[in-house]
Amino acid sequence: MSKAFIRETEDDPLDSEQPVPAAGYMTRRGHAALRAELEHLVKRERPALVEVVSWAAGNGDRSENGDYLYGKKRLREIDRRIRFLLKRLESAIVVDPAMQQDLDRVYFGAFVTIQDIDDDTVRELQIVGLDEADVTVGRISYVAPLARALIGAAIGEQVRFQIPMGWRAVDILAVRYE
């Protein structure tokens, strides 16, 4: 068999350092959530897991010790997440939407009430950072097609944006900042 198809090391492919894209903009709430996750991992979850791994290592044969093997794998995952969060928080640009002065236009952090032209559904969205986006609760990333179309538009305007299924249009009914 060709050496191109044989993995010569038993290293975990997930251990390699992947480049972390710049976080870009983030709301205060999103920044606080990432900081809270980092603090939880560093102060609670990782120390507890280190204790379990130490205990498991003292039990003898590590090759068939499930607690040890799983613990080491989970420890690598936690360390990877900690590195990711540190890089993300370091490069984040925290924007306070409450400081926005042009309250009739849509900018980062705005809560926007829109009405779909095709089916007349009305919904409220907030334009947030990449790490904060959660469509199920109405938070969309500022790089999403809808958000990019909305940014800079004013109350009463109609914006068009493209999705995989074609072009859509929405009316901006209200904009507010918190």
Q: Please report the pLDDT score of residue 22 as a whole number.
A: 54
Query: Domain check: are 27 and 90 in the same one?
Result: yes
All residues at 6 or more sequence positions from 145 whose CB lies less than 8 Å from its CB, including other chains = 161, 162, 163
Backbone angles phi, psi at 6, to 5 degrees: -110, 130
Grade residue 1 by pLDDT with cuts at 50, 70 and 90: very low
Nearest alpha-carbon partner for 68 in 56, 83, 50, 82:
56
CATH number at 149 reads 3.10.50.30
| Structural domain includes residue 3 | no
Tell which wins on pLDDT, 24 or 126: 126
Whole-angstrom distance, CA of residue 75 vs CA of residue 50: 8
- The reply to whether 17 and 88 lie within a common domain is yes
Supply the mean pLDDT for the chain: 85
Give the Cα separation of 70 and 109 in Å (integer): 40
User: Does position 41 have pLDDT exceeding 60, yes or no?
Assistant: yes
Residues 74-120 have pLDDT tens digits of 999 999 999 999 999 998 999 888 788 888 899 999 999 999 998 98
116 has which bridge partners?
170
- Answer whether residue 11 shows pLDDT above 50: no
In a shared domain, residues 101 and 91: no
Contact residues for 23 (Cβ-Cβ < 8 A; gap 6+): 88, 89, 91, 92, 93, 129, 130, 131
Q: How confident is the model at residue 155 (pLDDT cuts 50, 70, 90)?
A: very high
Domain count, the chain: 2
Nearest to 173 by CA among 107, 91, 85, 114: 114
Residues 35 and 62 in one domain: yes
User: CB within 8 A of 139, min separation 6: which ones?
Assistant: 125, 126, 128, 132, 133
Query: Where does a domain end: 79, 95, 111?
Result: 95
Same domain, 78 and 58: yes
CA dist 142 and 127 (Å) reads: 6
Same domain, 102 and 135: yes
85 and 118 both lie in a single domain: no
Q: Which domain holds residue 126?
A: 97-176
150 is written with which tokens? Answer: 């909305």
Q: Is residue 2 part of a domain?
A: no
Task: State the CATH number of the domain containing residue 47.
Answer: 1.10.287.180
Asked if 72 and 15 sit in the same domain, the reply is yes
